[in-house]
Chains A and B, each alone.
Chain A
Amino acid sequence: MADFSPPDSAVTHLPFRRRRAIPGFGLTLGITLSYLSLIVLIPLAGVFVKASGLGFEGLLHTLGSPRVLASLKLTFGSALVAALFNAFFGLLIAWVFVRYCFPGKRIFDAFIDLPFALPTAVAGIALTSLYGPNGWIGSLLSPLGIQVAYSPLGVIVAMTFISLPFVVRTVEPVLAEAERELEEAAATLGAGRWVTIRRVIFPTVLPALLTGAALAFARAVGEYGSIIFIAGNIPMVSEITPLLIIIKLEEFDYAGATAIAAAMLTLSFVLLLAVNILQAWTRRSARR
């Protein structure tokens, strides 16, 4: 039998084997990489492998169909509106909770995370009953000719709900750490309150605000559970992309489902990249 042992003992000094003061590097990194690969990376790679099997023509055929295009437009458009809506109110809420003192602050603060804790199906049926024609809010809006449930507006409402905490929770710590002295300096230099907020505070929180909005957008694009109840799922009108994947699956159109999934995954990667760049920016601007 051939001897495969390395001719030079120096080979044992691989960086991987380098002795480290704290034990467990190999074991924990091994667990991490294996688990990550098995649960996340390999299955996700499978989608791309399968999608590439469809060829460019096949992908285009699925993604270019009017129904898919309409769903993409609805999903991304609504997610964008929800993210912008949350960017504005999230900033305002973060400001109020960091800067002001008022009764019930702690309780409200705890409730901000409700969308993270509440199952999406529960949120979905609750929002539907609220905004339905007979609901507490729906019955107020329908005389005005505004229909929320079973319309694209409903999609926006559900997306706003589930992505509400992101902006608040990313902006809050940055706002809390912002130096009071910067605002005082602006005041001694003659800047009024509004000018100070616009030119000193806002640029400080901008990276965090964008990060939060990007996270909210990513979450809203992928959301399924809460939306399908309130949207009404009318093809070409209020049908979101994740639902189309499920419809394709139920029709045993695996190729179609895969094509759409690959498109959404690509977008997830782009968003993840964007969030990472934004976070690096946040850290840098916090440091300097």
Chain B
Amino acid sequence: MSILEDKSLQDPPAIPAIFHGGPLIQTNAAITEPAWVRWLLIAIALGFLSLFLLLPLAAVFTEALRDGFGTYLTALKEPDAYSALKLTLLAAAIAVPLNLVFGVAAAWCISKFEFRGKQLLISLIDLPFSVSPVVAGLVYVLIFGAQGWAGSWFAEHDIKVIFAVPGIALATIFVTFPFIARELIPLMQEQGTDDEQAALTLGATGFKTFWRVTLPNIKWGLLYGVLLCNARAFGEFGAVSVVSGHIRGQTNTLPLHIEILYNEYAFAAAFAVASLLAGLALITLLLKSLLEWRYADQLAASRRH
């Protein structure tokens, strides 16, 4: 072995990765702050996060258990809560798969092909993020409501959209529309088309190429998108509130159920249901972080931290 190829002679691994922390701060006095400044800034940042994030979370669980565990369970076992949970799951079960198909299709045509208006298309896909959820709900009322354009036709055929499950599902789809697409687009753009072209030259069909080559490369990014999409679908309030009609036991989702309980001063029950959703949010954060730590290299660059 030549001296030049001796791996042990390669650059020291020790210019520390900035992100994971590091000894960078200790080793390079030239580009860091004095220790007291660092700790002061860390204290401010963590103080702010605790005040604004951890405290509200703690409040949810404290309030939920204020009247004891028995009351807590009763609130969750209530039939209205149960039917709200079912409706929430149903809305998510409709919205997430549809947005999944859309997200994959959009990411495929945007990342694998060049065409005019691509940048505009990407912006339009992001559009629902900047539209107020209340406006999102309103647009469906304008179309499908009693006085809406399509309202009379649906009424004649005895199909209820507004104040019924289809409306709630539509509103949920709208607000969760971009999640999966915007996770996949940058990821698939980074990956390019080399793998797919290789698969095609080896005789794979288009669908086989997607299934056996593309999908394995994007599966963690896809899961990440589904996770975020799902969390939002469970929690959507504004848009669903406009189209649901708030019919107890029928068109109430969990967040709407919380509102009703809260307005009826059934605080403990409201917080009990809220704690359920907060628990789901925590699980989402946990899974999301696990994905970021474990499969960082297989997520879009902006998610690697």
Contacts and interface: CB of A to CB of B under 8 A. Distances in A.
Interface of A: 20-25, 27-29, 31-32, 35-36, 39-41, 43-44, 46-47, 50, 89, 92-93, 95-102, 104-106, 108-123, 125-127, 129-130, 135-137, 160-161, 164, 169, 172-173, 176, 180, 183-184, 187, 193, 196, 218-219, 221-225, 229, 242-243, 245-246, 249, 254, 257-258, 261, 264-265, 268, 271-272, 275-276
Nearest to B104: A28
A218 B60 CA distance: 27
B274 A125 contact: yes
B124 A40 contact: yes
A108 B54 CA distance: 9
Max chain B C-beta neighbours (<10 A), residue from A24, A127, A176: A24
B109 A114 contact: no
Contact of B142 (A50, A93, A242): A50
A272 B126 contact: yes
B91 interface: no
B262 interface: yes
Interface string B119-151: 001011111111111110011111101010100
Given A112-B49, A126-B60, A229 B130 contact: no
B236 to A, nearest CB: 8
Contacts of B173: 39
B305 interface: yes
A224 B134 contact: yes
Contact of A173 (B106, B127, B305): B305
The binding surface of chain A is classed by DSSP as helix
A46 B21 CA distance: 51
Given A116-B228, A187-B30, 8 more contacts: A23-B209, A25-B113, A35-B102, A105-B21, A119-B277, A219-B130, A223-B132, A242-B134
A116 B238 contact: no
B55 A136 contact: yes
A31 B138 contact: no
Given A22-B113, A24-B206, A127 B274 contact: no
B109 A32 contact: yes
Contacts, number: 308
B230 to A, nearest CB: 10
B302 interface: yes
Interface of B: 18-25, 30-33, 38, 41-42, 44-46, 48-49, 51-57, 59-60, 63, 98, 101-102, 105-106, 108-110, 112-113, 115, 121, 123-135, 138-143, 145, 147, 149, 170, 173-174, 177, 193, 196-197, 200, 205-206, 209-210, 228, 231-232, 234-238, 241-242, 254-256, 258-259, 262, 267, 270-271, 274, 277-278, 281-282, 284-286, 288-289, 293, 301-302, 305
A30 B242 CA distance: 30
Contacts of B124: 36, 40-41
Given A173-B305, A268-B130, A93 B48 contact: yes
Given A110-B285, A221-B132, A184 B197 contact: no
19 contacts: A22-B112, A22-B197, A36-B124, A43-B139, A43-B174, A44-B127, A92-B44, A93-B48, A96-B42, A106-B293, A110-B288, A119-B235, A122-B235, A122-B258, A125-B262, A126-B57, A126-B274, A183-B31, A242-B135
Nearest to A89: B48
Max chain A C-beta neighbours (<10 A), residue from B132, B193, B200: B132
Q: Which 7 residue pairs spanning A and B have beta carbons closest together?
A: A119-B235, A222-B132, A101-B21, A225-B237, A23-B206, A224-B238, A43-B139
Contacts of A35: 98, 102, 105
A258 B109 CA distance: 34
Contacts of B288: 110, 113, 117
Given A27-B105, A246-B242, A119 B234 contact: yes
Max chain B C-beta neighbours (<10 A), residue from A21, A43, A173: A43
Given A31-B101, A40-B177, A225 B278 contact: no
B177 A39 contact: yes
